[in-house]
Amino acid sequence: MYPESTTDSPARLSLRQTGSPGMIYRNLGKSGLRVSCLGLGKCRGLPWPLGSSSMAEQLMTLAYDNGINLFDTAEVYAAGKAEVVLGNIIKKKGWRRSSLVITTKIFWGGKAETERGLSRKHIIEGLKASLERLQLEYVDVVFANRPDPNTPMEGDPFSSSKSRTFIVEETVRAMTHVINQGMAMYWGTSRWSSMEIMEAYSVARQFNLIPPICEQAEYHMFQREKVEVQLPELFHKIGVGAMTWSPLACGIVSGKYDGGIPPYSRASLKGYQWLKDKILSEEGRRQQAKLKELQAIAERLGCTLPQLAIAPCLHHQCDPDSQWHPSQVLPKLSSSIVHEIDSILGNKPYSKKDYRS
């Protein structure tokens, strides 16, 4: 799980060190891939990560030197320029490829009908184009960046389970192909429902193909059910892990919108009217009121509101047996503090198991 172009680590260290206490690493799902519990991702629709290439290099260097090995991008980000910037920085810094976990997402590749979606054609061609922009031989994880409602069969793709399975099978076969060709090590899903992930897993097992290892899902204080309830169930059933995005809810949880829409904030930019409307809505005002209460907790703990927002994202995890202490904030999240946060938010999700107990 990673914040949007932000990092939060307590100590300066390098990935070249082994056994360093500054960053905790875990397996992605039940795969053997070890990733830092924080990663650096690119804000959707903005230059990667923000501003100039020099700023991107500074942020990446800061992240890398603090133990972060996970860097995420997508073919659609800044129309491919995000991958170019990321690739240029990796080449310039001379970081060992084996020390990095690079992920990208495939779905929106271009304006042509054949340049988007999850057909075999676009998955293979789109990933090849991404690798060229990244100047890499392979990515560690390629994500199917939302389910594809289209199908090569006639009729409504959702009117028949047979037709729906057909397109999922094509996607799973294409992902298996790019892995077998050495273009990717693993594949995952993003914005897929639990049912769609289970369908992909079932198709993979039925035809001896490679199943997805994780789902990339939105997760923050105001959106919790999928990551805290649905994905843990999938993890225990089929081993699918979670990589989360937007822990600051597009900046809403940062507290910067407390007094309105600041100039040059994301909500003030062209194309983000939906975010501005969300912040200024009645629900948005209720969220800001809750954030003021959470700010008081952050001050008691000696941290910022964004740090407090990210810490619970690490506290709630798909694997209850692992212990994460990647920041100075997480160890301070006692059961009483977590209960206080849940009481303020008023949106703690409950699984079927919770209702039975």
State which H helix or E strand residue 72 sits in: strand 70-72
Per residue, the 3-state secondary structure of 105-174, as one string, reads EECECCCCHHHECCCHHHHHHHHHHHHHHHCCCCEEEEEEECCCCCCCCCCCCCCCHHHHHHHHHHHHHH
Residue appearing with tokens 């997508």: 74
Cα separation of 71 and 81, whole Å?
15
Please say whether the beta carbons of 95 and 135 come within 8 A.
no
Of 77, 186, 201, 257, the catalytic one is 77
Task: Dihedral sign for Cα 218, 222, 223, 228, please.
Answer: positive
Active site residue 77: yes
Tokens of 95: 């970081």
Q: Residue 214's closest CA among 229, 234, 184, 237?
A: 234
Q: Yes or no: say if 103 and 70 are a contact pair by the CB < 8 Å rule.
A: yes
Quick one: 275 exposed, middle or buried, by C-beta within 10 A (0-12, 13-18, 19+)? Answer: buried
Give which of 270, 213, 278 is closest to 246, Cα–Cα: 278
DSSP 335-346: HHHHHHHHHHH-
The residues annotated with a catalytic role in the active site are 77
